[in-house]
């Protein structure tokens, strides 16, 4: 039965690396064990967090669900109140905080090099909050657009989404405090949930992935400052893509060990590769899919960032006083923000990190950054869907209407709302169980959804 579903050479590989007994337990889990469903709540939008079975290494926000609902049809998901994330992959947040000494420092710059679809990016965004900037990069543009949508929905406003080859980050050499590489891999850890991953696996693909991972890590290393932290992860089991790559890294570059607290009861298997601390998640030992993660520090004096590179042509325009005044009342009181324009749209950024955002946007191909606030036409303002879902929105700037589940789904499908009679004339902010889900505009007896067409959902109940 094992051989009919899993590649014979994969089973042999696991037996050689883990031993026959442990490999048999792994294969049985991949073949027969149920797949757990987990989500990670957005701490900037949800407080207190719901009760439920806690993901141990992400206890503050991670929860297992007893059943898998239709997330697409859940307004709370569409509002960015949680992200559907595989439990094991949440461990990188624990690694990040541990590597930074237990607290995220102010001014921190984080690069998520292979970021789509956005699970780890939104995790880093939540951890960093207003203390720094996250740059989320994805080289494949279609995947980068999905990443941008998820960052927009998450709404924290501290993230820049780029679509560049990893080599392009050479222009930001030594600029980042943390570089995370969730490297494209052979996907063995996804065998339980992905028939495609099982079908495409081969020893040749493992070797191809390992070589590509080394190229990405080498480029990522250049972008990391001396004293900075490298997080490496894959969703695969084999040593070729994992320990062997980390051993190569520690031999090729000057690395230092970082100690990480990891209780035995979590069921995570710890290994070492050179000075790198490594962690394996196996589905027969932990409640999740497969994951490998490792962490090292770049040797050198801490704080040794390179200077910002010479600016290229800036994509930003200035916001005049009249426009700033029009927009200001739509933004949360007390938020220290910098406003700028890109094309016809106005964007808001955390003022303390504006220089960092501008540096990235002047060097890279950027798809989304900060919070897209909307467009100003003289004294009139058209708010953007992203503003409604952001943590900087002032919900009292427009009339608000609590809507039913049916009307929330009508909104997400860009259909007419049944509650049109309850709306004020003009722009309204729609709420579902208190959570902003977007803007609509009432014009007489009809509504005009301000939700972007590309985000429209088609799934029926």
Give the residue numbers annotated as catalytic, written as ranges.
Answer: 235
Q: Is the dihedral of CA 190, 192, 198, 204 positive or negative?
A: positive
Q: Are 317 and 345 in contact (CB under 8 A)?
A: no
Q: Is the dihedral of CA 138, 141, 142, 145 positive or negative?
A: positive
Using alpha carbons, list the distances in angstroms from residue 159 to 109, 328, 342, 415, 438. 10, 21, 16, 31, 20
Instruction: Tell me how far apart the alpha carbons of residues 452 and 461 are, in angstroms, rounded to a whole number.
Output: 21
Instruction: Tell me how far apart the alpha carbons of residues 273 and 254 are, in angstroms, rounded to a whole number.
Output: 14
Q: Among candidates 125, 54, 117, which has minimal Cα distance to 93?
A: 125
Matching residue, tokens 């069921």: 267
Q: Among candidates 196, 186, 185, 132, which has minimal Cα distance to 160?
A: 132
Bridge pairing between strands 132-137 and 159-162: parallel
Q: Among candidates 18, 15, 64, which has minimal Cα distance to 37?
A: 64
Alpha carbon 358 to chain centroid, angstroms: 21
Using alpha carbons, list the distances in angstroms from residue 391 to 81, 121, 153. 11, 17, 10
SS3 content of the chain, % helix, strand, coil (to 5): 35, 25, 40
Q: Which helix (H) or strand (E) holds 127?
A: helix 119-128
DSSP, collapsed to helix, strand or coil, labels residue 214 as: helix
Matching residue, tokens 């000057």: 254
Matching residue, tokens 């081969």: 202
Please give the full DSSP string across 359-425, using - where no structure is assigned.
Answer: HHHHHS-EEEESEEEEEEETTEEEE-HHHHTSTTB-TTSS-EEE--HHHHHHHHTT---TTGGGSPS
């Amino acid at each position: 039965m094992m051989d009919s579903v899993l590649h014979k050479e994969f089973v042999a590989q696991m037996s050689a690396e883990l031993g026959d007994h442990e490999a048999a337990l792994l294969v049985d889990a991949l073949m027969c064990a149920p797949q757990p469903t987990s989500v990670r709540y957005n701490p900037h939008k949800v407080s207190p967090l719901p009760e439920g079975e806690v993901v141990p290494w992400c206890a503050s926000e991670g929860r297992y669900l007893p059943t898998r609902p239709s997330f697409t049809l859940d307004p709370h998901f569409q509002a960015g109140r949680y992200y559907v994330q595989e439990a094991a992959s949440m461990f990188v947040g624990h690694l990040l905080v541990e590597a930074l000494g237990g607290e995220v420092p102010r001014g921190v710059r984080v690069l998520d090099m292979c970021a789509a679809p956005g699970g780890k990016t939104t995790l880093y965004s939540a951890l960093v909050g207003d203390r720094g900037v996250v740059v989320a990069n994805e080289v494949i543009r279609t995947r980068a657009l999905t990443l941008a949508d998820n960052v927009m929905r998450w709404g924290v406003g501290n993230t820049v989404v780029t679509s560049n080859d990893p080599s392009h980050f050479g222009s930001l050499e030594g600029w980042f405090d943390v570089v995370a590489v969730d490297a494209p891999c052979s996907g063995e850890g996804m065998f339980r949930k992905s028939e495609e991953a099982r079908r495409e696996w081969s020893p040749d693909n493992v070797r191809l992935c390992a070589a590509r991972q080394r190229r990405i890590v080498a480029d990522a290393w250049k972008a990391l400052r001396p004293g900075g932290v490298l997080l490496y992860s894959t969703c695969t089991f084999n040593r070729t893509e994992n320990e062997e790559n980390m051993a190569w890294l520690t031999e090729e570059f000057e690395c230092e060990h970082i100690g990480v607290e990891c209780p035995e009861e979590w069921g995570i298997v710890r290994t070492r590769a050179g000075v790198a601390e490594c962690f394996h998640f196996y589905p027969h030992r932990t409640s999740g899919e497969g994951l490998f993660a490792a962490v090292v520090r770049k040797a050198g004096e801490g704080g040794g960032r390179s200077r910002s590179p010479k600016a290229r042509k800036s994509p930003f325009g200035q916001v005049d006083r009249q426009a700033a005044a029009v927009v200001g009342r739509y933004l949360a009181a007390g938020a220290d923000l910098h406003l700028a324009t890109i094309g016809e749209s106005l964007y808001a950024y955390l003022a303390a990190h504006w220089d960092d955002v501008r540096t990235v946007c002047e060097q890279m191909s950027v798809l989304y950054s900060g919070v897209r606030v909307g467009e100003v036409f003289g004294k009139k303002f058209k708010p953007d869907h992203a503003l409604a879902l952001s943590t900087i929105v002032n919900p009292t700037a427009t009339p608000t209407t609590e809507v039913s589940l049916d009307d929330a789904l009508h909104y997400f499908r860009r259909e007419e709302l049944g509650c049109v009679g309850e709306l004020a004339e003009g722009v309204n902010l729609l709420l579902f169980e208190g959570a902003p889900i977007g803007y609509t505009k009432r014009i007489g007896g009809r509504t005009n959804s301000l939700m972007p067409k590309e985000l429209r959902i088609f799934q029926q109940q």
